């Protein structure tokens, strides 16, 4: 063959080999081409085996090979993958034609009558072996053609092996990813929520889960021709475009809307739709998760109706309680009022007896009568205070600016006048002002200062302070003394009518004063609380108008209610 013919065949073979990317077709096509070009009817591709057998060990001239592929001999085809022992000269060395070797026929078994072996080694590890019963009709161009061809094949084989290994890894990774995707898809199909992928350019669904198909009653093919504006048609197409544009622009946010699903049969049900944007191959898409809120909506409606009903019930109950309170107050007032006349008679007639018949009575009897008069008077005072407390609940309030400093000083002056023996140090902060009913607030101050005066009577250095509490509470006033104080565990009983924390023998009183103070404070929309320590004194804080900071005082003790 001339150079042009050889180059032409090399070109053809290079094109055949270069077209393959996998090992098996590369082997088959190359082997078939070699058989075509040589006319040899049988071709084998072998690789050197690393295993040794007794046969290969016994014969130093032999080597084990693995039969990788076979064309043309149906018996040898059955041995693909098997190991066979061949003379080394059949495998190693240069490309050459071997003939008259008794081992040649045995390669394919006893029935084959191959006499000619064309050895074409591929690197150090592989070889093509072509077998024929007849010699080639012409000389074969070993050096010029087969050697470069086999070198080229060795490189191509290596590339195909690398490619297959790389492809196998890619396939495995892809299978892994598909498996994850299938699981994810199954999870999506299992959820009750309808999930849609929306193409915002065409306003069409491009994917959805099984729940969407089931819930809406459309066939999957139909749904692929539809968009959100078709199955959630409470919102028009322009409205949907606006919503979707917003969702696309709010890249990190989830847009939520409440609308309804329209099913294929025309029925609707309420849904909450959460939209979020993502990109696939640089194309912006939206995922819409649509949740059936029929049950939630029903519960909300029921709760709303219940709340409305509850408010009505509360208002009605309040009205009933107010009426009942009014009746009770009226009844209390009547009872108290009615008790005053017989009480006056008891006290009056007892005094008459004491005045007219005292000479007839012994000391014990006189003592009884004096006690009766004293008790009657105390009862009278009590009835008066009850009547006053009742009155306070009913009289209208007329507020104006009241100077509490002046008011407190006047009350102190009166107390000092009535009890001139006492030595009390009184400090009244000047300029204390409040919007209040002057008469009621005077009563309130009289009670508080009266208590301080009373409970400091055993102090040789009694101190009473009136001032503005200056923490974070600009409208909170206080009355403080260093008197008997009280145990804070009973503080919740402090403002209850007729409840007293001290004995009459220690400090006289009716137990109505602080209840009266609280009633006045509450009627001004304020609140009152106290801090005290037994033997060290007490401080009463109060506000006259409810303010935002009333509840944030240090350790406030609410007495309201």
Partner 1 sequence: MDSSTAVYCSTYNESELHNILARWNADSSHAGVLALVAEADKNVIPQLQNLFNRQSTPLIGAFFPELLIKGQLTSNGFTIMKIGSSPNSIIREHISDSEECMDDTVGSIAEICEHNNSADNKNTLVLIIDAMVPKIASLLEKLYLRLGDAVNYMGINCGSESFKPMPCIFDNKQFVQDAVLAFTIPNEQGAILEHGYHMPNKMIAATSTSNNCIVSINWRPAFEVYSEMVFSQYGVKVTKENFYENAVHFPFGIVRADGEVLVRIPVSLQDDGSLFCVGEVPENSVLALLKAEDADSSTTVEHIVKHFAAQAPQTLLTFYCAGRRMHMGDNAASELSALQQKLNSTNIVGALSLGEIGSSTKDGYPLFHNATLVCTAWGS
Residues that bind partner 1 (CB under 8 A): 1-2, 4-5, 7-9, 11-12, 15-16, 28, 32, 35-42, 70-74, 77, 112-113, 132-134, 136-141, 145
Q: How many CB atoms lie within 10 A of CB 367?
A: 11
Long-range own/partner contacts, residues 61-65 (CB < 8 A, 24 or more apart) = 61/87, 61/88, 61/89, 62/86, 62/87, 62/88, 63/87, 63/88, 63/91, 63/92, 65/91, 65/127
Could you tell me whether strands 462-468 and 424-428 are parallel, antiparallel, or unpaired per DSSP bridges? parallel
In the bound complex, what is the minimum distance in angstroms from residue 147's beta carbon to partner 1?
13
Between CA 374 and CA 380 the distance in angstroms is 10
In the bound complex, what is the minimum distance in angstroms from residue 72's beta carbon to partner 1?
4
In the bound complex, what is the minimum distance in angstroms from residue 22's beta carbon to partner 1?
16
Of the pair 100, 461, the CB lying nearest partner 1 is at 100
Between CA 553 and CA 418 the distance in angstroms is 36
Of the pair 5, 439, the CB lying nearest partner 1 is at 5
Burial 307-346, CB ≥16 within 10 A → b, else e: eeeeeeeeeeeeeeeeeeeeeeeeeebeebeebeeebeeb
User: Residue 434 CA to chain centroid, in angstroms?
Assistant: 48
In the bound complex, what is the minimum distance in angstroms from residue 3's beta carbon to partner 1?
10
In the bound complex, what is the minimum distance in angstroms from residue 36's beta carbon to partner 1?
7
Of the pair 100, 417, the CB lying nearest partner 1 is at 100
In the bound complex, what is the minimum distance in angstroms from residue 28's beta carbon to partner 1?
7
Between CA 422 and CA 458 the distance in angstroms is 10
Of the pair 140, 216, the CB lying nearest partner 1 is at 140
Of the pair 37, 241, the CB lying nearest partner 1 is at 37
In the bound complex, what is the minimum distance in angstroms from residue 2's beta carbon to partner 1?
6
Of the pair 2, 555, the CB lying nearest partner 1 is at 2
Between CA 530 and CA 525 the distance in angstroms is 17
Of the pair 54, 138, the CB lying nearest partner 1 is at 138
Of the pair 29, 457, the CB lying nearest partner 1 is at 29
In the bound complex, what is the minimum distance in angstroms from residue 160's beta carbon to partner 1?
19
In the bound complex, what is the minimum distance in angstroms from residue 77's beta carbon to partner 1?
6
> Of 179, 158, 154, 171, which Cα lies nearest the Cα of 13?
154
Q: How many CB atoms lie within 10 A of CB 172?
A: 10
The position carrying tokens 């000389």 is 139
Residues in the chain: 561
Q: In angstroms, what is the C-alpha Rg of the chain?
A: 56
372 class by beta-carbon count within 10 Å (0-12 exposed, 13-18 middle, 19+ buried): middle
End-to-end CA distance of the chain: 120
The position carrying tokens 């749904």 is 223
Of the pair 149, 347, the CB lying nearest partner 1 is at 149
In the bound complex, what is the minimum distance in angstroms from residue 171's beta carbon to partner 1?
22
Of the pair 16, 366, the CB lying nearest partner 1 is at 16
């Amino acid at each position: 063959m001339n150079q042009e013919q050889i180059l032409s065949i090399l070109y053809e073979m290079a094109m055949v080999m270069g077209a393959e990317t996998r090992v098996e077709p590369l082997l088959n096509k190359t082997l078939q081409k070699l058989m075509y070009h040589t006319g040899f009817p049988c071709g084998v591709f072998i690789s050197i085996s690393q295993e040794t057998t007794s046969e290969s060990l016994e014969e130093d001239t032999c080597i084990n090979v693995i039969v990788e592929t076979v064309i043309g001999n149906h018996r040898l085809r059955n041995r693909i993958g098997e190991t066979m022992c061949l003379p080394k000269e059949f495998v190693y060395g240069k490309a050459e034609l071997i003939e008259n070797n008794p081992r040649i026929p045995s390669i394919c078994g006893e029935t084959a009558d191959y006499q000619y072996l064309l050895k074409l080694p591929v690197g150090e590890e592989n070889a093509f072996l072509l077998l024929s019963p007849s010699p080639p009709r012409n000389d074969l161009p070993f050096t010029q053609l087969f050697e470069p061809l086999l070198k080229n094949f060795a490189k191509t084989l290596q590339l195909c092996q690398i490619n297959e290994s790389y492809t196998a890894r890619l396939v495995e990774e892809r299978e892994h990813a598909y498996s994850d995707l299938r699981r994810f898809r199954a999870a999506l199909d299992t959820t009750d929520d309808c999930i849609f992928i929306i193409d915002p350019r065409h306003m069409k669904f491009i994917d959805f889960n099984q729940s969407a198909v089931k819930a809406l009653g459309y066939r999957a093919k139909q749904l692929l021709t539809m968009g959100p504006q078709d199955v959630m048609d409470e919102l028009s197409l322009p409205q949907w475009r606006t919503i979707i544009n917003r969702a696309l622009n709010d890249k990190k946010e989830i847009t939520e809307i409440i609308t309804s699903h329209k099913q294929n049969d025309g029925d609707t049900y309420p849904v909450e739709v959460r939209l979020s944007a993502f990109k696939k191959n640089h194309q912006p898409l939206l995922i819409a998760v649509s949740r059936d809120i029929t049950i939630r909506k029903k519960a909300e409606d029921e709760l709303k109706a219940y709340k409305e009903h509850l408010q009505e019930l509360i208002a009605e109950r309040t009205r009933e309680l107010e009426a009942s309170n009014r009746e009770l107050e009226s009844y209390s007032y009547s009872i108290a009022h009615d008790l005053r006349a017989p009480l006056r008679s008891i006290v009056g007639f007892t005094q008459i007896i004491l005045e007219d018949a005292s000479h007839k009575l012994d000391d014990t009897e006189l003592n009884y009568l004096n006690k009766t008069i004293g008790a009657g008077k105390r009862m009278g005072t009590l009835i008066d205070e009850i009547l006053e407390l009742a009155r306070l609940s009913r009289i209208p309030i007329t507020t104006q600016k009241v100077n509490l400093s002046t008011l407190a000083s006047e009350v102190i002056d009166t107390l000092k006048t009535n009890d001139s023996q006492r030595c009390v140090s009184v400090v009244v902060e000047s300029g204390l002002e409040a919007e209040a009913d002057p008469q009621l607030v005077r009563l309130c101050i009289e009670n508080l200062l009266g208590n301080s005066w009373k409970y400091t009577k055993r102090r040789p250095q009694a101190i009473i302070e009136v001032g503005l509490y200056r923490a974070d509470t600009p409208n909170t006033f206080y009355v403080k003394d260093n008197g008997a104080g009280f145990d804070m565990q009973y503080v919740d009983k402090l403002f209850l009518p007729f409840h007293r924390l001290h004995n009459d023998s220690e400090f006289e009183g009716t137990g109505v004063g602080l209840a009266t103070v609280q009633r006045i404070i509450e009627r001004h929309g304020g609140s009152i609380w106290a801090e005290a320590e037994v033997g060290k004194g007490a401080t009463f804080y109060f506000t006259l108008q409810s303010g935002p900071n009333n509840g944030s005082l240090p350790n406030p003790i609410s007495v309201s209610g």
